[in-house]
Structure formats: C-alpha cells, structure tokens
A and B are shown apart, each in its own frame.
Chain A
Amino acid sequence: MEVSIKDIIKPENLVYQKSSLLTEKPMHYCPGCTHGVVNRLIAEVIEELGLQQETIGVTPVGCSVLLYNYIDIDWQEAAHGRAPALGTGIKRLRPDKYVFTYQGDGDLAAIGTAETIHACNRGENILMVFINNGIYGMTGGQMAPTTLEGMAASTCPFGRDPERDGNPLRMTEIVATLPGTRYVTRQAAHTAGAVRKLKKALIKGFNNQKENKGTSFIEVVSTCNSGWKMTPVQANEWMVENMFPFYPLGDIKDK
C-alpha cells in the first residue's frame, strides 16, 4: 500500500515542532553554525519551563549580537564583553526575573574577562551561556583567547604560537574554582545525544535561579565552520579530534 505524505503529517504523529518562542525571522548564521542550534535550544527551554514573561536575556557583541531577533522574550544588547555586568544590574534590580547572558569566547574570555570573573565570584544568580568556537567569528576569524595551540586564524595565519600569543584559556575551569559559581559544565551540540545533554544543562541553569545559590555557567564547545574554513561536517570532526581533548566535556561543578 502506498502511503501519502498527508497520512503521515497528523497531530498524533507529531514528535517535534518549532518552539513557539522562535520568531519567523530567518537566522543570519552560516549554515552548520552551532549558534543556531543553541539559540533554538534556549527558546525551547524557556518555552517548556513557561518562563517567557519571567526571562530577560542579554546578547553579546559577536555573531550572536542579533539573537534578540530570534527568541520572543525581552532582551538587552550589551557592549562587547559587558554582558555579565548588565546581567548583574538586571538581576539585582529584578531578582524576581530569570536572567541569562549569551556570549562568545572573545566576548566572555578576552575583553570581558573581568566582568565574567567578578560576576561569577559575586555569585550573581544568573545563567551564563558561553559559546566557545575557538575563534572570533563575527570579525572574520581572528585568534581568540580559546584558539588552540597551532590552530590557524587570520591574526595567527601560521598557527597559534604560545611563545608569542600565550596559551589557550580554559575559562570554565577558572570560574569553577570560584565559590560564587554553583553549576559549571562543558557541553557540545554536535550530535543528537550532545544536544539532549546540553538541553538538560540549560534547564538546570534556569531552574537553579529559583534557589539563588550562585552562578550557573555552561560552556558549549562549538564550531565556526566559516572561520575554520571547513565544511560543517569537517568542522564537527575537527572539533571532536582537537577541541575536546583540550576542552573536555562534562560537569565540572554541581553543588
């Protein structure tokens, strides 16, 4: 018997649908970019937890600067690196709200290092989502604080040389040492399994705010296929082979 597509698309067969909090605006990310996946997961989590009216998001300067176009909640756009300071100001004055920042590695671990460390050290009751793609995606692929040794970028075209450029920075391990952080984890979004785990972590990051016991910090080891000059598939493979050994996945702190 021949099955028509119309017989399959029925409410009882629905296994997945676009989050109602995702707007109709087409995302501007390069195809294959991790940002799109994480944006979508955040929309799903806010929707599933019923927190649309309770959430205020903070976007960074970086490829995700226009994230506020995609998720239907209230947003503030920060100067480069200052999202944790905005998050602090928002949460201190609206402790009844759920507050999260979403930042790239240049934003969070270079220009915003002080704001990141001090927000975590004060234990601001917010969630920080950290997209580590090892590069400055937005500005065209320059070296980031997280660029691996030997990894090429436009400002280290022959590879990162630790003697000249310093070593890649593991910010997540650093903030895990601070008493102000409550939940610190490193996740990825390259497989269905990884996506499920990341979603669980995000749910925890939001739920933790109910208890006011410190900062939740979720790193997502990510790809930037454009900046890395690879296809999305190659970029995922390269990430598994090269990024994961230096940025191992898993919970670092959960108290």
Chain B
Amino acid sequence: MKGNEAIAEAAIRCGVDGYFGYPITPQSEVMETLMLLKPWETTGMVVLQAESEIASINMVYGGAGCGKKVMTSSSSPGVSLMQEGLTYLAGAELPCVVVNVVRGGPGLGTIQPAQSDYFQSVKGGGHGDYKLIVLAPASVQEMADFVELAFDLAFKYRNPALILSDGMIGQMMEKVELKPYKNRWTNEEIDQLHPWATTGKPAERERNIITSVELDPNAFERFNHKLQDKYRKMQEEEVRCEQFNCEDADYLLVAYGSSARICQKAMELARAKGLKVGLLRPITLFPYPTREIQALLGHVKGILSVELSEGQMVEDVRLAVDGKVKVEHFGRVGGVVHSPEEVVEALERKIIGG
C-alpha cells in the first residue's frame, strides 16, 4: 500500500480516537483512506474534515485536552498554518501526532517531494522556546509503525510529536505488515492514565485547566525551564538512528527519510569503487543523534549531509562535529530528487577530493 494509506490503517489499529484534517497533495489519501475505512463503525474513531488546517490543529487541541489520542496530517503549506496551534499545544503540554508529508517550497511551491521543512520541524516553527518530537520514516512500514511510536512518545512527554515524511514516502507503494487492532482507551482508562485531562470535574478533584497563559514572569520562567528539562530528557533517552557500514568508514553520509534510501544505494556504489563509506540515518530528528555522530569521529575523515533541501540538517551535523572534520551539504531541491550517482559524485568532489 501507499505510505499515506499506511498512516491511516495504522492510526485505526493503534486505537486513535480522532483525526481532523484538510486536503492537500501529496497526503490527501490519509483522510480519504480513513473515510473509506469508516472506523467510526468499528473502533469508534472520529474522522472529520475541517475548514482549514488552522481549524484541524485546534480540533486536535480540543481532543488532546480531553486525554484522547488525536492526530492530523497535512503537507508543507498546511503545516505552516498549524504553527500557531503547535506552539499552543506544546505550551499547554498536550500530546498529539501531526504528519507532514513534505512538498517543495517556499510558497505554494510544488507538489513534488522535498525535505525543506526540517528547520520548521526541529527548531520550533511557531513562537517561543519549544520543541516537537520529530520522527523521520524512510519506508511505508515505518509510516505505519511510527504512528504508534509517535503517540507513545507524545503521551510519555505530554508533547506534540511530528512524523516528518515527504511526497516520495507518502506516495510510494510497499508491502507493509500491519499490527493487530488495539482497543481505544475507555473514558475510565483516560481518567486513570491522564489525570490532567478535561473530562468534567468531579467534586473530589481540583478543576483541570488546559492553558498556556502565565502572567507571572517568575512562574513562567520556571515553566519554560521545566519544558527544557523535558527536552533534555528526550535528548538523553529517545534518540533513534540506524547505522550502515559505519564501523570502518572513512567517509560518512548522513541522511534521513527518502534521502537515506537513496544514500544507501550511493553507499553501495561507493563501496564497490573501494571507498569506505558509511551511512548514518537519523530516525529522530529531534532529539538529534548528535552523540552517535560524534562517536564516529575517531575514524571518519569527512561527512556529507544529504537532504532534499538547500542545506538545513547539515547545520545539526556541523554542531555535532564542531569543526573536527569537514562537513558539506548536497541535495537537489524544488521537487527534483537526487540520484545515487549524483550523491557519490558530490561525495568525491566536496569531501574526498575537496
């Protein structure tokens, strides 16, 4: 099935309570698939088409505030509209899942795949000091698996989680093994699991207030520090990445999502040429596999960061490397996808020969 369809199937199976969305290419199949599968008749999951991405992310806020598993999906221009909602969700410490099937920008741009929303995803996007948990699937299987993983992390940290995909993974067809159906949480389970949720105030507990306003500067400073503690804990405990041929690598490719698939092939081509090239694929983009990259610096002599952008993730690679070895960026943009041969050529030109 398609990556986008896998998202929909996985959402129903992992017990999601609600999906709110607005159509945009290349991800409309997510809502279309949900509407065809009619989960409200089986698991009881609510699916609703909103009037805009602004509305859909705020519907997500309302549902998340009730302790429900709620999600939305969109593509770049729509996710830009959601930034206000995302900072409010982060500020109110609400868990939810947002899927961005990225297309090329800026502006209306193109419906073709890109990875140019990296900064928006991992550096904030909306106002204020906050982070999203960002997962980058590189296959249709991971599109399915990461829905549940994203919810687990979102609820563990009470923070929005973003699945940063792109038009290639969203539209690509692959075999997928889907997990068995899980029950949705009952309202009683939610009372137990999420005592902060607005479920209607019984006499015996304090009222629950979901808010991000705090007018006392000292209290708000403490709250901001608390958020940062949470992000540091994620950095300690939640980094996920995959390494290929990194043990003996002289040169390293760093790439996520669809670009990592291309780089895997590029790595094989380079190895066939006798070049000792490894690939590190970040799975979490925030928290970033900084330490994992640093651990390879004893033998790696140069790094090429490869992404479908003008060079965004490369900044995080450079921060990790801190000037110890050469780091360059390579990537095609505007909906153009680089070939493995182009990657090898760029590696030889910018890193090995340079």
Q: Which residues of B contact A75 (CB under 8 A)?
A: 198, 207-211
B65 x A90 contact (CB < 8 A): yes
In the assembled complex, A47 has its CB within 8 A of some CB on chain B? no
Q: How many residues of A contact B (CB 8 A)?
A: 33
CA distance in complex: A162, B219 (Å): 44
Q: How far is the CB of A24 from chain B (nearest CB, A)?
A: 13
Say which residue of B48, B85, B212 sits within 8 Å of A82 (CB atoms): B85
B213 x A66 contact (CB < 8 A): yes
Residue of A nearest to B84 (CB): A79
In the assembled complex, A73 has its CB within 8 A of some CB on chain B? yes
Q: Which residues of B contact A74 (CB under 8 A)?
A: 198-201, 207-209
Say which residue of B55, B199, B200, B203 sits within 8 Å of A85 (CB atoms): B55
Q: Which of B16-53 contact A (CB under 8 A)?
A: 17-18, 20, 46, 48, 50-52
B17 x A85 contact (CB < 8 A): no
Query: Which of A9-17, A49-57, A175-183, A196-204 forms part of the interface with chain B?
Result: A49-57
CA distance in complex: A135, B52 (Å): 27
Range, interface on chain B: 35 or more
In the assembled complex, B63 has its CB within 8 A of some CB on chain A? yes
In the assembled complex, A232 has its CB within 8 A of some CB on chain B? no
Give the number of A-B contacts (CB < 8 Å).
133
Q: How far is the CB of A62 from chain B (nearest CB, A)?
A: 12
In the assembled complex, A114 has its CB within 8 A of some CB on chain B? yes
A88 x B200 contact (CB < 8 A): no
In the assembled complex, A94 has its CB within 8 A of some CB on chain B? yes
Question: Majority SS of interface residues in chain B?
Answer: mixed
A89 x B63 contact (CB < 8 A): yes
Q: How far is the CB of A139 from chain B (nearest CB, A)?
A: 15
In the assembled complex, B306 has its CB within 8 A of some CB on chain A? no
Contact with B along A83-103 (1 / 0, CB 8 A): 001111110111011000000
CA distance in complex: A73, B209 (Å): 9
A90 x B17 contact (CB < 8 A): no
Q: Given A77-B92, A93-B66, are A82 and B55 also a contact pair (CB < 8 Å)? A: yes
Binding site for A on B (CB under 8 A): 17-18, 20, 46, 48, 50-52, 54-56, 58-66, 68, 70, 84-85, 88, 92, 187, 198-203, 207-213
Chosen A-B contacts, 25 in total, with CB atoms closer than 8 Å, are A53-B202, A66-B213, A68-B211, A75-B208, A75-B211, A76-B198, A76-B211, A77-B92, A85-B59, A86-B58, A86-B59, A86-B61, A86-B62, A87-B62, A89-B18, A89-B63, A90-B65, A94-B66, A94-B68, A94-B187, A94-B200, A97-B199, A114-B54, A115-B55, A118-B55
